[in-house]
Structure 1
């Protein structure tokens, strides 16, 4: 293998000197083993994404205004935490690879920290219960990052084949969506069942969290033992901060994908948080029965659509065109739903529209995950540095930021509008919930459509990049 050239990356117009080497079609069981990592992550973290705000305001009795600040502070904390973990993962060298050891180290702590986060102490003084919630949330964020960033970087190391990467991403989103659907749909029934047993909702939420989080544990080991890293960075690669910023700064495709992860986070995770309030107060679902049905069907439908993402890519001829279709359909459906008045329209109509928008969101989700490894290699082509973990930390941060902005804005806006937990809400509060549930996702989808018009990293360009990397000795494979 030729020696690595760290100073003169190949020019963008250079012709490949050889065809890139692909490993061929990967076994289905390997794709499922990799995708099981999202089961580990999403069973506990979907509880955080969907129910933590409601839990804090209505069960732990932390004021909504304080909760909005807490969510913002933790996102700022994540701004440092995500790239730090990404850099450490990229610098890890073991016989198991760079990223897989992190899965063993973080899986169990993630599960335990989320369980403790859903242990409410409403009898404590307000300051004490607020501090407890803040500290446990930050701890849970650290372990979630320790799992999710290396897991995200792992996908680029499994295969160099862009078609197989799209297939890996399809399995990933399918497993993720179904897991989110299961977690979202069973959690409230569990809290109601165990809370009603002794009339204490605190115990209901704690026991519900224990049951849901425990489902994640076996898949820690499935993902670790069922995957293998075959794509490696150049030998003796030294990662410096300036070079890492070049990996991102000189990477327009990555910048576009990063913004799309923010949109995905808002729609997929943040919207589910808003939905808890939207169904209870706008639709009139105090028991959470309709929300549980919505959460289950929304996740399953989005997962099914994402699973067929690679096939849809063939219909629309490229990942970019597939995403453009998904964003356009999402914007139209969300605008229609926003204009509906749940007080005069049947809950069935609202449900169908919401599920339809969830269905088309699966189209875009599988494509953006499949694009991340491609942008990693674009950055390596331009800068000479391969930093899968650091790149994924940027996408992960934006995903979590999108998922956090929705509840942060909701908490702040409903507090200003006069939100009262458990009571009938005024018109301003209901309008805030409707806007956050439907209007904001529509606006963000339009933004996503516009920015992807400028995405230029197609299949032909990616093939040329891989060939150039191999000619330079920058693409090392088992």
Structure 2
């Protein structure tokens, strides 16, 4: 039986949850590397190792959180209660992350580890339930795609706040002490995240009830390994996140040192990328009304690779206007896939149930979150290592060798990862028509009428 259509308030409420989460994830993408090296005072190599260690923690906590959401169902829902419980701790952890104690280097390094890992754990506690929530709000694929459009729009609004308001607030409140300014500015963002998580909790309803099999972890992994479409999404998520995080992490360095930007222009450069991404959310929803969403995913990421090479070749140090244009264009094209990807996860879970006869939901979403954060960790590690390799030193004039390295890290290197992401999606086949066949036929008939559902390889792509 079809569920009622989602109301605008529910879509806004659903989007507010991702806005809360993206206060943290946008700071990790856009400013945390710059904050750690140029304000907090970490060595780039130590910063990179910290990011990698945090992802090793995720290797344990993400699957555990996925299993927890599978096993516990309350009268308030399976996923929403976590927003109520963890909203305040989540906001406080953001404040602590951007607090710079007046200690010696080793003590500050310990503080950085403690606060970053705290944010990582609380991020898992709200993100796994949140990305699973779309699967129980509605059973209509177009409704899910629309809700994800709202979600990603609000996520980019959070990124706007981080890139526009945070630097200005930090400069205003800091009064010459940027470390104090960032603490206050991000503390306010943490408060906003808390309020948004509570708003998401009170405005959404879990309508769809899926039967979750009580299976041991090893058996759940075995079932997921048979879901070839989910495995493709994991690969796409890992490579795409690596490209996105590396470009976003280096953008501040690129603006400050390669383009010679002051604080105002640096903020404007970061904001140009976020603004392009917001427009991409709108454009993607419009394009997918008449064009195959899977093809859009594939070709947009290949195009990012080509545009990235073009940017490296034609933009010289100090060429602000051309750099802005190409960075805006890359940021627009790269995010055309985003609404498609996050709706595809729920569809891949349904595909796995149709293929194997067993449903694994929490671990599937937890696995995607792990690959996303693994991509963040590996990209962060590479940023730290490459900054060291290219002889980067904070707050000084950079050599030509260092500037070339920063340009490569903003353009060509992330472009390669996005091309790999697009390559994964050339083997993905769950289009809207294909998904409707899953709902119509069920596991047995699907296997007989759509043999490709039991094989790893290209299937229908209309």
TM-score (norm: length of structure 2): 0.91
User: Once the 2 structures are TM-superposed, how far is the Cα of residue 372 of structure 1 from its aligned partner?
Assistant: 0.6
Number of the residue aligned with 1:312: 287
Number of the residue aligned with 2:417: 444
Q: 1:233 aligns with which of 210, 217, 221?
A: 210
Number of the residue aligned with 1:476: none
Number of the residue aligned with 1:205: 182
**1:118 and 1:209 in contact (8 A); partners too:** yes
Number of the residue aligned with 2:116: 137
User: Once the 2 structures are TM-superposed, how far is the Cα of residue 363 of structure 1 from its aligned partner?
Assistant: 0.9
Q: 2:223 aligns with which of 247, 263, 270?
A: 247
| 1:327 is aligned to 2:301 | yes
**1:149 and 1:396 in contact (8 A); partners too:** yes
User: Once the 2 structures are TM-superposed, how far is the Cα of residue 470 of structure 1 from its aligned partner?
Assistant: 9.3
- The C-alpha deviation readout for 1:128-163, integer Å capped at 9, x for no partner, is 111111011111100011011100001111111111
| 1:173 is aligned to 2:152 | yes
How far apart in 2 are the matches of 1:294 and 1:90? 42
More deviation, 401-410/62-71: 401-410
How far apart in 2 are the matches of 1:224 and 1:457? 30
**2:255 and 2:269 in contact (8 A); partners too:** no
Number of the residue aligned with 2:459: none
More deviation, 379-388/439-448: 379-388
More deviation, 272-281/375-384: 375-384
Matched ranges for 1:68-83 at <5 A: 68-83=48-63
**1:44 and 1:111 in contact (8 A); partners too:** no
How far apart in 2 are the matches of 1:471 and 1:332? 43
Report the secondary structure of 1:229's partner residue.
coil
| 1:148 is aligned to 2:148 | no
- The C-alpha deviation readout for 1:250-281, integer Å capped at 9, x for no partner, is 11111111222224423444422111111111
Report the secondary structure of 1:284's partner residue.
coil
- The C-alpha deviation readout for 1:357-400, integer Å capped at 9, x for no partner, is 11112211111111011001111223333333221112212222
User: Once the 2 structures are TM-superposed, how far is the Cα of residue 207 of structure 1 from its aligned partner?
Assistant: 1.1
How far apart in 2 are the matches of 1:57 and 1:437? 17
Structure 2: unaligned runs, 5 residues or longer: 446-462
Number of the residue aligned with 1:273: 249
Number of the residue aligned with 2:451: none
How far apart in 1 are the matches of 2:41 and 2:275? 32
**1:89 and 1:99 in contact (8 A); partners too:** yes
Q: 2:233 aligns with which of 247, 253, 257?
A: 257
Q: 1:120 aligns with which of 76, 100, 111?
A: 100
| 1:362 is aligned to 2:335 | yes
| 1:351 is aligned to 2:324 | yes
User: Once the 2 structures are TM-superposed, how far is the Cα of residue 25 of structure 1 from its aligned partner?
Assistant: 3.4
**2:87 and 2:195 in contact (8 A); partners too:** no
Number of the residue aligned with 2:11: 31
How far apart in 2 are the matches of 1:270 and 1:149? 23
How far apart in 2 are the matches of 1:219 and 1:458? 32
Number of the residue aligned with 1:298: 273
More deviation, 94-103/242-251: 242-251
More deviation, 143-152/180-189: 180-189
- The C-alpha deviation readout for 1:221-272, integer Å capped at 9, x for no partner, is 211011111222227x313213311332111111111222224423444422
Report the secondary structure of 2:288's partner residue.
helix
- The C-alpha deviation readout for 1:174-225, integer Å capped at 9, x for no partner, is 1111211221222112211222x2x322211111111222222221121101
Structure 1 segments (4+ residues) deviating >6 Å: none
Report the secondary structure of 2:411's partner residue.
helix
Structure 1: unaligned runs, 5 residues or longer: 1-20, 473-478
How far apart in 2 are the matches of 1:437 and 1:119? 27
Task: Output the aligned Cα RMSD.
Answer: 2.0
TM-score (norm: length of structure 1): 0.88
Matched ranges for 1:154-169 at <5 A: 154-169=133-148
**1:159 and 1:230 in contact (8 A); partners too:** yes
Number of the residue aligned with 1:16: none
Q: 1:42 aligns with which of 22, 44, 48?
A: 22
**1:104 and 1:220 in contact (8 A); partners too:** yes
